[in-house]
Amino acid sequence: MEKIKKKKRKTFTRRDFLKGFGSGALGAAVVPKLVSQDVFSLQTKEGKIPLYSKKQITLNINEKNYSLVIEPRETLLHVLREKLNLTGTKKTCSGGECGACTVLLDGNPIYSCLTLAIRADNKKITTVEGLAADGKLHPIQQAFIEKDGYQCGFCTPGFIMSSVALLEKNKNPLTEEIKTALSGNLCRCGNYSKIYEAVSVASKSMRGA
């Protein structure tokens, strides 16, 4: 038993951990050395997993590339709001309950509060800021305004992003399909019937019906 413990310590000790992960706090000069480097490796049954202290990533957000250095623990929501000042994506529960933080990752709606930014490296992200084009609102944004699809508006960006994902895949959804697609978004003002109506109106205008 003692032998096994010693062997484990040799591979990855607490001292190694503190030396690597604490170095950012001790001196800025050390950080660049660690960026994008495989600082430690953890040997698992599936193979070696690199453990980074910091990593350089590229996020393609609303068709623009952003290159930045992040810590692996940072969520996509945190990076969007706090590092890139894209505050249209809202932070509410931070726990995958409300959908206020919904963005599209390669076209699929995701909770950005539950997605690590490192997982979005080199992926295409769409936020509510990327919907309007040529000075015109997206038809879904327009329909939310026309049909009073919001009250306080805090949930609105998340609902709009889920609606964009739905209408990309289903141009003419039934009300039940709209409800299902938006079931991951909560509206604390209880404005659901107007939200569903707005999505239905948007689907008609996008089809030219």
Chain residues in the site for ligand FES (CB under 6 A): 91-94, 96-101, 111, 113, 150-155, 187-189, 191
Q: Looking at beta carbons only, is 40 or 159 nearer to ligand FES?
A: 159
Least separation, in Å, of the C-beta of 91 and ligand FES? 5
Q: How far is the CB of 163 from ligand FES (least distance, A)?
A: 13
3-state class of 142 per DSSP?
helix
Which of residues 102 and 203 has its CB atom nearest to ligand FES in the complex? 102
CA distance 121 to 72: 11
Q: Measured between alpha carbons, how far is 16 from 53 in angstroms, rounded to an integer?
A: 12
User: Whose Cβ is closer to ligand FES: residue 53's or residue 191's?
Assistant: 191
Residue type, 31: V
Which among 137, 32, 42, 37 has a CA at the least distance from the CA of 88? 137
Minimal CA–CA distance to 35: which of 19, 17, 47, 20?
20
CB of residue 38 to ligand FES, shortest distance in Å: 31
Torsion over CA: 77, 78, 79, 80 (sign) = positive
Starting at the edge strand found earlier in the chain, the sheet holding 124-126 runs 64-70, 55-61, 124-126, 102-105, 108-111
In the complex with ligand FES, the residue whose CB is nearer, 39 or 110, is 110
Cβ neighbour number for residue 123 with a 10 Å cutoff = 16
**What would the two tokens of residue 205 be?**
């205008």
Would you say 82 or 97 has its CB closer to ligand FES? 97
Tell the smallest beta-carbon distance from residue 127 to ligand FES (Å).
13
Residue 39 vs 104, nearer CB to ligand FES: 104
- Closest distance between ligand FES and the C-beta of residue 112, in Å? 7
- Angle between the 139-146 and 156-169 helix axes, to the nearest 10 degrees? 130
Task: Give the shortest CB-113-to-ligand FES separation in angstroms.
Answer: 3
